[in-house]
Amino acid sequence: MLVLTTDYVPNHEIKEIKGLAKGSTVRSKHVGKDITAGLKSIVGGELTGYNEMLIEARQLAIGIMVEDAEKMGANAIIGMRLQSAAITQGAAEVFAYGTAVVI
């Protein structure tokens, strides 16, 4: 599955628009990582536990979006975007969406 942030596929014609493909996940880190992040925020530096959590969440949300597009019969997604939101302390939702198309 070709996933692009652009609204077109270079050197390809969009033959059919299938619709909105979407995927979301809510992820959290365990308490130990949360305590470590709290201490890190006092002294400064990268919050690697949260960074890892968001990387995993983005990958999972994109994977779910791709599965959604495949169910529609698409072979590409254009205009892909990611959004994230804090749900509670230590938990975040990541939402991936784009237009499922056939090229």
Write down the pLDDT at residue 35.
46
Helix, strand or coil, per DSSP, at residue 39: helix
Phi and psi dihedrals of 73, rounded to 5?
90, 15
Q: Which of 83, 72, 90, 86 is nearest to 24 (CA)?
A: 83
The predicted model scores a pTM of: 0.80
Q: At what angle do helices 31-43 and 48-71 cross, to 10 degrees?
A: 130
Binned at pLDDT 50, 70 and 90, residue 82 comes out as: very high
Q: What is the pLDDT of residues 7-50, one digit of tens each?
A: 999 999 999 999 999 999 998 765 444 445 444 455 556 666 67
**Average pLDDT across the chain, whole number:** 85
Region 71-92 average pLDDT: 89
Q: Give the whole-angstrom CA distance, residue 73 versus residue 44.
A: 47
Helix, strand or coil, per DSSP, at residue 71: helix
- The residue behind tokens 């254009």 is 78
Write down the pLDDT at residue 11.
94
